[in-house]
Structure formats: structure tokens, C-alpha cells
Structure 1
């Protein structure tokens, strides 16, 4: 294993490195989200079928991508915590759950708003929508387990197992539009195919997706740093840090 992997096991080192990374990711998130929002809402041309109602794509697609990516991050961190007993990995998994749940709610809400003028209904039991709803329930289950179990180690193990079991839902979300005849449109971006939209429509969408990844990194690091301070509050380095802050 590389040296940095074992350094991640140190809460102190993790707290320090995230403090250095935070400003850069925060600036990138603000700039990218501002550029993507203005470009997508004000300058991108309207869709030839949906008109201006399609513009919600600039919020819906990034939040849907992020809800799935965060779940993968949470499950991987949980697996690392189970295998290598890394406290920081457990903290990362715990910090991911509320962020992912919030973005899953936003993805479902924006999807419903988009679905009303497109499908004529706020909600249909479509394969993609149903599997996204299951993803939200998985997030809520992880949050509930973390709150219900007092022992940090037991809670980490239980939530890691739940997250790993729930991984089966991620490919269902991704490939549901290919496996079944659904109302939901196919994936907007595919690695092996050229985007169906013109560049003036998909470039701001790509900017928004990258901006949301930066935003997630910022929020995750903030939550992780708080969790490190909470769990390590009795250590000498945290007491020295708090004294420096007060001084």
C-alpha cells in the first residue's frame, strides 16, 4: 500500500491536509457553479421539444450523479473501515450519508418538477425513479443506524454492511433505462458515445457536474473535520489546537 494510504489512518494528518485543500476546492466550487448556472439558465438555447423547461437538467443531472457517487464513496470508505479498521474511513462514511441523502432528495424533487410538464405527472413508478427512491431510503437507513447505535465502532460496522449490500442498487439506477422500457430518458453523458446535445448545452452541464463534485468535496471535508474534532477531543493535539484558536 502507498504511504499516503496509511497516513489517512491518522486523524491529525487528515485534519491538516483537508485544511490545506479546503480553500482551493471552495473557490473552484463557487466559480464552476456560478459559471454553469448562468450559462445553462441564461445562454444555453432552449430544447427543440421541451423549450425552456429542460433547463432544470442543470440541477437535476448533477444532483442525481452526485447522489450515486456519494453512495459509492460511502460504501468504499465503509469497506476500508471494515477491512483495515481505519477510524478516518469510518468518519468519512458517516459524513457522506447526510450529504448524499440531501442530494438524493434534491434529485427526486427536481425530477418531479421536470416530469410534470414532460410526462404530465409529478411521479410515476418508473424503474429509474423507484431505484433512486430506494437509494434515498438506504441513506436514511445508514443515518438512522448511526443515530441508534451508541458504540462508534459497532455503528460503523453495521452501516458499512448496509452500504455494501445497497451497492446492488447503483447499477440498477444506471442501467434501468437500458434494461427496461421506461419513461425516463437515457443517460445524458456516456464515456463511449458523443453527447446527443449540442456543445452549447452540454458544456455548461459538464461544468455543473464538476462544480457539484467540488461542492461535495468541500462539504465532506467540513463535516469530516468536525467529526475528527468530536472523536479526538480528548487527545493532546486537539486540545492544543483549540487553545490556539482561543488565543
Structure 2
């Protein structure tokens, strides 16, 4: 327990966060790249065709992990926003703002691949159902977090607190996205994986395997990209601190 508490305090300190995470960047990048290559090859070339959708379902191996990440990253932004707003922890601000553009990218990818998948399945690229609309709102929330921060770039601490407030309020959209298919009539399909058993979700391991691999790949990509951005954020906002000067001279 003492080691966990010590690690928490170290990660909450900008100099320690910068130093420790520097060792993780390369492994996360290599894992993300290797898993992405394996998952795409396995899903596009070795997974069998779907008995209803044929080969068009293969876009799922990009769409579903991207959709999961769009929610996962915003949840992290919301939690970090709460920590930054209440306790003004600078590392939480760094993680929040570093995560926002990555989450926006995954959300945009979710919407784009969903449209491409929806055309052959539903006969239309877009339908204003609850799932699609709430996912689009999520993209606007990401843009809002980044936009508010940019509007006050002359005062990073104030900008971070205002962006954190938007992030916290936006958390209400996550359960709406998650349960929209169950709460409202929707042309969108249900969950791709059913953790509670039942009849929904993928059952064939040859289809499930590349999907899970791609889910892992997106997690490692997020960790690599977020840490890289967060470290640069700390260097920029703490540029007058002595530890930044030491880091720059050592590099």
C-alpha cells in the first residue's frame, strides 16, 4: 500500500511524471504498432465472412475499437477534469488536455467508419437516431474542451479549469451513448460483445480475436500519444521551472 501511495504522489509531481513516463513511450509505441498490424491482417484476411453481412462487416475491426476508445478517453478526461478543477493538479490538467485531441480523432473515426458501414447495411450514410446523434455530440464536447482551452491560452491554469468544467458536464453524455440502443428505437445494432452472456454479441473466436487485439492496440496507441503530448504540455506550462531547464540541457 505504501508503494502505491508513493507512486501516486510521484505521478502527481510534474518532474517525476515526466521522468517516469519517458521510459514507457517506446514500449507503448511498439506494442501499439505490432498489435495494429496483427489485428488488421487477422481481421481483414483471416476472419471468416459474416453470414448476414458478408465481408462488409470487416470495418467493425476499426469502428468498434474506435467507438470504445471515444468513450474511454472522455471518461478519463472527465475524471482528470474533476481532479484539476477541485485540486488543481497540474498533471491532471496535462492528461486532460493531452487526451482531448486523441479522443476527438477516435470519435471522428467512429462516425466516419459508422457511415461507411451503415450505407450497405441500412441504405443510408446517416440517420439521426440516438446513438449517432449522441456520438456526434461527443465530438462537439471534445472540440469544446479544446476550444475553451485555446481561447484562454494566455492563462493556462484558468483555461484548464474552464475546460475541466466543460469536460465534467459532458460526462452525462456517456451513459446516453452506451444505452441509447436500449432506451430508444434505433437502426444501430446492439453491443458487439456481450459480457453478460445472452444471445447478442460475437460468438466466433476467429472474429472476436482480431477485435480484441485491435481494442488493445488502440489502448496502447492512446497511452503512447497521450503521454507524449502530456510531457510536452508540462514542458510548455512549466518552462520557467528549474526541472525543465535541467531536462532541456540533458537532452
With the shorter chain as reference, the TM-score category is over 0.9
1:203 maps to which of 197, 205, 209 = 209
User: If the length of structure 2 is used for normalisation, what is the TM-score?
Assistant: 0.94
2:114 aligns to what?
111
1:185 aligns to what?
189
2:23 maps to which of 8, 16, 20 = 20
1:241 maps to which of 221, 240, 247 = 247
How many angstroms does 1:188 deviate by? 0.8
How many angstroms does 1:193 deviate by? 1.9
User: If the length of structure 1 is used for normalisation, what is the TM-score?
Assistant: 0.96
2:13 aligns to what?
10
2:141 aligns to what?
138
2:70 maps to which of 67, 70, 73 = 67
1:156 aligns to what?
160
Show structure 1 runs of 5+ residues with no match: none
Map 1:18-97 onto structure 2 (within 5 A): 18-97=21-100
Q: Distance in 2 between matches of 1:51 and 1:197?
A: 16
Q: Secondary structure in 2 aligned to 1:190? A: coil
Q: Distance in 1 between matches of 2:134 and 2:193?
A: 19
Q: Distance in 2 between matches of 1:140 and 1:84?
A: 24
How many angstroms does 1:191 deviate by? 2.2
Are 1:226 and 2:226 matched, yes or no?
Answer: no
Q: Distance in 2 between matches of 1:78 and 1:3?
A: 22
Map 1:159-174 onto structure 2 (within 5 A): 159-174=163-178
Show structure 2 runs of 5+ residues with no match: none
